[in-house]
Amino acid sequence: MKAITFASTNQSKFYEVESILAAKGIRAEFARLNLVEIQTDSLEQIAIEKARSAYALLQRPIIVEDDGLFVSALFGFPGQYSSYVFKTIGNDGILKLLEGKEDRSASFRSLVAYSDDGSNIHLFEGRVAGTISIKIAQGGWGYDPIFVPEGVSLTFAELKSMKNGYSHRKNALEKFAEWLAKDKI
């Protein structure tokens, strides 16, 4: 089985990556790295810079991921600021901002960046459309308790291990796995 290092501080994210890639015949190893996120409007640029720093530190084939939650009624906020917004106003704050709004549609984007030489960075994007729930569900991590993917009526948190069947992360990683199988092996 081919092995790839996934660099992140988020172990919950790693468990999802590990399971999604294992189904594609790729073994993911975890490197706990606190990669600096540059301030820019682009998830792509953030993922590219994270991949460069992860490769510089580890000197082996790596993947990193950058995500954003985009809420339509908030003009795409928190988007590329999702991490900061989660740490500050959190899920409670997002629900408060949506009070009285009819449109609760939102989407999650994942940008997976792969590099095996530190200079060529390959990007794979995954998206999932959905809505923001009325209440905060139990369990999950990050925005899992308030994001309901299209096609079901449960939040990512309530979907538990079934989350991987719907997630933005799965869409991005499947593209990566297909590319790797075609171009690299």
Residues marked active site are found at: 66
| SS3 sequence of the chain | CEEEEEEECCHHHHHHHHHHHHCCCEEEEEEECCCCCCCCCCHHHHHHHHHHHHHHHHCCCEEEEEEEEEEHHHCCCEECCHHHHHHHCHHHHHHHHCCCCCCCEEEEEEEEEEECCCCCCEEEEEEEEEEECCCCCCCCCCCHHHEEECCCCCCHHHHHHHHHHCCHHHHHHHHHHHHHHHHCC
C-alpha separations of 152 from 159, 162, 163 in Å: 9, 11, 11
d(CA 179, CA 148): 29
- Please, what is the minimum distance in Å from the beta carbon of residue 26 to ligand IMP? 19
Residue 114 or 143: the one with the smaller Cβ distance to ligand IMP is: 143
Residue 26 or 140: the one with the smaller Cβ distance to ligand IMP is: 140
Residue 102 or 138: the one with the smaller Cβ distance to ligand IMP is: 138
Residue 2 or 129: the one with the smaller Cβ distance to ligand IMP is: 129
- Please, what is the minimum distance in Å from the beta carbon of residue 24 to ligand IMP? 18
Residue 131 or 142: the one with the smaller Cβ distance to ligand IMP is: 142
- Please, what is the minimum distance in Å from the beta carbon of residue 10 to ligand IMP? 6
- Please, what is the minimum distance in Å from the beta carbon of residue 31 to ligand IMP? 15
Pairing of β 78-79 and β 105-115: unpaired
- Please, what is the minimum distance in Å from the beta carbon of residue 183 to ligand IMP? 25
Q: Which residue is nearest to ligand IMP (CB)?
A: 142
Q: Which residues bind ligand IMP (CB under 6 A)?
A: 10, 66-67, 69, 82-83, 86, 141-144, 156, 167, 169
